[in-house]
Amino acid sequence: MTKLNNPKKSKKLLLGATVLTIVALSSVLLVYAAVTIMTFTGGNVTVVGVTSGTIEYATTKTGSPTWSTTLSPSGSWYAELVLGSSSSYQGPVTITWQLQSYATGSWANVGSYVTTTGVSLTGGAQTIYAATDGTLANAQDWSQIATTGGTYQLTAVVASA
């Protein structure tokens, strides 16, 4: 073990090292603070393209169902989304179908949602059924979720895939 001969030199060296350490830590903290206070959030972005659409209901999914915007079923019922001819979006989408009930005086989600995937919008008029694959043959029977009397509606959220 080596002994330092000059205690004053040792204290100056220790003081110098301490000052350098404090300066280095301070600069890191200042840089960190500068990074965290420079966060910006943009406004909402609305993507246009699906400009008109209607959800319609029917009590059967076989043959040629009669579709309507209102329904008072006593058994099974199904839904479709009819996009208008002014819709211009083209490309793959996912559609999230959510059943809602008005039992508490405001609309509230009921049960789990159904997501339609594997569907591409063509631009213009198009019909997509509330099914995982968008086909009428596999359409969701909403009476399986709406099991009590009341007023219900479906929402369909269309998002690019």
The residue ranges of the chain whose pLDDT is under 50 are: 29-36, 44-47
- Tell me, what's the pLDDT at 131? 97
Cβ distance 143 to 130 under 8 Å?
no
- Tell me, what's the pLDDT at 61? 96
- Tell me, what's the pLDDT at 139? 97
Within 13 Å, how many C-alpha atoms sit on residue 110's CB side?
Answer: 22
- Tell me, what's the pLDDT at 137? 96
Q: Which residues, other chains included, contact 66 with Cβ-Cβ below 8 Å and sequence gap of 6+?
A: 58
Q: Return the DSSP state at 133.
A: T
- Tell me, what's the pLDDT at 102? 87
Q: What pTM value is reported for the model?
A: 0.69
Q: What residue type is assigned to position 74 of the chain?
A: S
